[in-house]
Amino acid sequence: MTHTAPLTFAPEVRDALDRGLPVVALESTIITHGMPWPQNLEMAEKVEATIREGGAVPATIAVMGGQIHIGLTPAALRALAQTPPAEAMKLSRADLAVCIANGRTGATTVAATMICAQLAGIKVFATGGIGGVHRGAEDSFDISADLQELAQTAVTVVAAGAKAILDLPKTWEVLETLGVPVIAYGQDELPAFWSRASGIRAPLRMDSPEEIAAAAAMRAALGLKGGQLVANPIPVEAEIPQDQIMPVIEQALSEAAAQGIAAKAVTPFLLSRVFELTQGRSLESNIELVLNNARLAARIAAAMA
């Protein structure tokens, strides 16, 4: 299938792809909707620097001016970081095309970043945590498009598991149904974003970037659709253990229910409340786990290259 997607490549990314060098895609909703200015820019620059230190080229993805930008120049990254959340669309598969067609600014979620990365020929993507099945989904049917995207788009996604505010058992159950390989890195248990442990045994375990790269190559050789999810536990020194974070999450969830917060507003509200209730510790952990995922993604991209 040929496509004529409106892609604009940062010079560094275009050069790396042309030369077959390792490239790691990065999402942009964490910049526009995840953190306030100027911490969001500092974090984005730090993640990009971490990928460069790992021997790969970072490609932060966003929609600006009717183009999908594959990699952002320093000026474009700064401009995106200064865009108010109300002015940046939060893009998934459903609204990506509309945002481009209307010339709006849009930040890519996991699903949209995977789509754009595949269009650009990038095989590895580092993020914080994926979306998943929301608590109470049996009534609301609120399930992130990220899960379906993992089942159909051939990108290896490195995350610290699914966000712990979600229904983790149901999230892993849906991924199993969709046939998505869920690989715990270096441990037998699936991590739970801020915590290394979830109490849920991982269906697959791998201990090296080379194994993960080989598995992706074999999926392609077998003609299997979809990507891989690499669940990379947060570093020990940065984690908030499960017994400490769960009561905080439960409180935030009950507040969201009481205030009637729903749909795309749920996750930002919950993350904001968890930040307040942990006095900022959750954000510090979040930054550390993103950097940790960037380091592993750079190694996987190098193994693929």
Domains and CATH numbers, the chain: 7-304 (3.40.1790.10)
Query: Is 207 marked as a binding-site residue?
Result: no
| Beta bridge pairs of residue 7 | 68
Q: Is the pTM of the predicted complex or chain greater than 0.85?
A: yes
Other Cβ atoms within 10 Å of 65 Cβ, number = 12
Q: Which of 180, 175, 205 is nearest to 190 (CA)?
A: 205
Check whether 145 is labelled as a binding-site residue: yes
pLDDT score recorded for residue 3: 67
Residue spans of alpha helices (H) in 57-109: 74-81, 96-101
Which residue is it, tokens 């970072």?
Answer: 58
- Is 110 annotated to bind a ligand? Reply is yes
Q: What is the mean pLDDT of each run of 10 residues along the chain (305 residues)?
A: 82 97 97 90 97 98 97 97 95 97 97 98 97 90 95 98 94 98 98 96 98 98 98 98 95 94 82 93 94 98 97
Find out whether 142 is annotated in a ligand binding site: yes
Distance CA 305, CA 123 (A): 10
HEC sequence for the chain: CCCCCCEEECHHHHHHHHCCCCEEEECCHHHHCCCCCCHHHHHHHHHHHHHHHCCCEEEEEEEECCEEEECCCHHHHHHHHCCCHHHEEEECCCCHHHHHHCCCEEEECHHHHHHHHHHHCCCEEECCCECCECCCHHHHCCECHHHHHHHHCCCEEEECCECCCCCHHHHHHHHHHCCCCEEEECCCECCECCECCCCCECCEEECCHHHHHHHHHHHHHCCCCCCEEEECCCCHHHCCCHHHHHHHHHHHHHHHHHCCCCHHHHHHHHHHHHHHHCCCHHHHHHHHHHHHHHHHHHHHHHHHC
Active-site positions?
27, 163
Read off φ and ψ for residue 180, nearest 5 degrees. Answer: -90, 125
First CA to last CA distance, the chain: 24
Which token pair is 177? 């149904």
By the 8 A CB rule, do 120 and 8 touch? no
Structure tokens, 16? 């790396």
